[in-house]
Structure 1
Amino acid sequence: MIQVKLFDQEHEKDLENEMNRFLERLDEKKLLDIKYNIAALPEDEGEKEQIYCFSAMIIYRK
């Protein structure tokens, strides 16, 4: 059976750490693919600050 595991963090290092913890427990032979995405949104209208969303999906066999 094919499964997915979704990850979402505000900081890329947090995403990396969370994914690495999951991958440590996953047999390499079961890993099918990893998808990665970054989204940047303005924090508030009129402000120059941005909110970042780093997300990834690991596709694997159970």
Structure 2
Amino acid sequence: MIQVKVFDQEHEKDLEYDMNRFLERLDENKLVDIKYNVAAMPEDDEEEQIYCFSAMVIYRA
């Protein structure tokens, strides 16, 4: 069966940490693909931006 695990963080290092912890427990032969995305939105005051770093790991269960 194919399954997915979705990760979402405001900082890329947090995303990296979470994904590495998950991938440590996943057999390499079960990994199918990893999809990565970054979104940026202006903060309410529009002087700063909010970032959303997300990834989806597709794997065989």
- Note if 1:54 corresponds to 2:61: no
Instruction: Give me the TM-score of the superposition, normalised by structure 2.
Output: 0.97
Displacement after TM superposition at 1:2 (Å): 0.1
> Could you list the runs of 5+ residues in structure 2 that have no partner in the other structure?
none
Displacement after TM superposition at 1:19 (Å): 0.1
% identical equivalent positions: 82
Tell me, what secondary structure is at the counterpart of 1:48?
coil
Tell me, what secondary structure is at the counterpart of 2:26?
coil
Displacement after TM superposition at 1:48 (Å): 1.6
> Could you list the runs of 5+ residues in structure 1 that have no partner in the other structure?
none
Tell me, what secondary structure is at the counterpart of 1:29?
helix
Instruction: Give me the TM-score of the superposition, normalised by structure 1.
Output: 0.96
Displacement after TM superposition at 1:23 (Å): 0.1
Q: Post-superposition, which runs of at least 4 consecutive aligned residues in structure 1 deviate over 4 A? A: none
Tell me, what secondary structure is at the counterpart of 1:7?
strand
- Note if 1:9 corresponds to 2:6: no
